[in-house]
Amino acid sequence: MAPSTPGDVYKLCKEHNVKMVDLRFIDLPGVWQHFSIPVDKLDEDAFETGVGFDGSSIRGWQGIQESDMLVIPDPVTAFIDPFLSVPTLSIVCNIKDPVTRQDYGRDPRFIARKAEAYLKSTGIADTSYFGPEAEFFVFDDVRYDFGVNHGSFYLDSVEGQWNSGREEKPNLGYKPRYKEGYFPVPPADTLQDLRSEMVLAMQSCGIEVEAQHHEVATGGQCEIDMRFQSLVRMADQLMVYKYVIKNTAKKYNKTVTLMPKPLFQDNGSGMHVHVSLWKNNQPLFAGNKYAGLSDLALYAAGGLLKHAYALVAITAPTTNSYRRLVPGFEAPNKLAYSMRNRSAAVRIPMYTNSPKAKRLEFRCPDGSCNPYLAFAAMLMAVLDGIQNKINPGNPLDKDIYDLPPEEAAKVPTTPGSLEEALNALEKDHEFLLKGDVFTKEIIHTWIEYKRKKEVDAIRVRPHPYEFALYFDI
């Protein structure tokens, strides 16, 4: 049974002879940070008044002149770490300012908590459920380097189709062909046991897993699906998910990346996110409209599509994300909705007719996102659609890529770059500010951080392929 109170956490520590407590929190871009304390320091004061640390070096956080911060452990998130040799309890924390005792405005988990509170305040629903399908690659080798006069990367996988002719003493030939990794059994799928071990580790951390499988791309692309959870809890669990898959792979001298497009000319890794709203334990997205949806669900789809151009600056937040959102690789680069077309940004899954299963699937996000910010932004777009009764237009059930040019031109597409998405977010973010969920300050910080640290950093560097195109000019 999952812990829910400090008392439950103390019992868990005693049962597992815990020696250390690892306090975890998330930076603005979306990477877990941590520090540890001896278990005897996790007293009632730690849960009430917090534990101090220096927040000045956390990306997107405090300046050096206001560095002191507090972590407040959330007992609901506690789990026994399955990887550390010393018995360790890991716990996710909220962040507070030690002077004002207020929740810290740049803590992404605080923003997600505010989104849940705002949902209840609207009276529309009391619970939002999220179910991300995070894809990732498992590689056997990764090397990258850059400098003033050079830049390179190299990836390898024993599964990679590019290794079909490699001398492996012996090369057994079971290499999934490009775009044909979905779902061959072993021996072509070499990662079945590894994924199963990842699943078992997730379950030991309190995560309910529904399925695991190889994904479409060659070279070790995988997916593990978790059962849906409420917004903040799912964001917590997705961070555990990332931690588990990376550390399980490392045990076998393999490496995992959720980078959206690590391989050229094969499918990238997305994170299709399922969302639904409930009230008084009743689903609100089921009805008698298109694909069995309610009017409310269609308005929700309208909100996602209306704000998609800005939304992807948060849900697909890297320059690499837009190398995935291109035609020809099952990527959802068309801003339309459909019950079958997987090229549409919003899809309505049709696996079952159960009202409880009615949901929208937003297919633009990828695993590089900060889940607290991404899910909160999605919820705000959904609510804006419902509040303003935004019509999503007509569904697009044709093959989008076979449309006549004049018809295809009428279907809007996702931004072509992170820079375009950030520009859109700069213009369209009022929907995020409702209920003080996001603030102008956090939107500004996000845009400036991404422009300076990522967009500009890529723009000023020569690309290796430019030498193939232009060196002999």
Does residue 419 carry a catalytic annotation? no
330 has catalytic annotation: no
Active site residue 430: no
15 classed as catalytic = no
Rg (CA), the chain: 23
Beta strand 141-146 pairing with 127-139: unpaired
Among 342, 444, 459, 463, the active-site one is 342
Return the sign of the alpha-carbon dihedral for residues 244, 134, 214, 212: positive
- Per-residue DSSP letter, 39: G
The C-alpha angle 338, 343, 348, rounded to 5 degrees, equals 30
Compute the C-alpha angle 106/111/115, nearest 5°.
165
Among the listed residues 81, 107, 116, 133, the single catalytic one is 133
Residue 472: which residues within 8 A CB-CB, separation 6 or more? none
Q: Which of 159, 215, 419, 454 is catalytic?
A: 215
In this structure, are residues 82 and 22 in contact, taking their beta carbons and an 8 Å threshold?
no
Q: Which of 189, 223, 266, 384 is catalytic?
A: 223
Q: What phi and psi, each to the nearest 5 degrees, are found at residue 341?
A: -75, 115
The DSSP code sequence of 277-320 is: EEETTEESSBSSSGGGB-HHHHHHHHHHHHTHHHHHHHHS-STT
The one catalytic residue among 27, 74, 107, 361: 361
Q: Out of 272, 307, 359, 429, which one is annotated catalytic?
A: 272
User: Which of 81, 107, 116, 135 does the annotation list as catalytic?
Assistant: 135
> Is 459 an annotated catalytic residue?
no
For 29-58, letters b (16+ CB in 10 Å) and e give: bbeebeebeebeebeeebbeebbebebeeb
272 in catalytic set: yes
Q: Is 168 a catalytic residue?
A: no
Which entry of 45, 54, 210, 436 is annotated as an active-site residue?
Answer: 54
Q: Is 45 a catalytic residue?
A: no
Known catalytic residue at 113: no
Residues assigned a catalytic role: 54, 133, 135, 215, 223, 272, 342, 361, 363
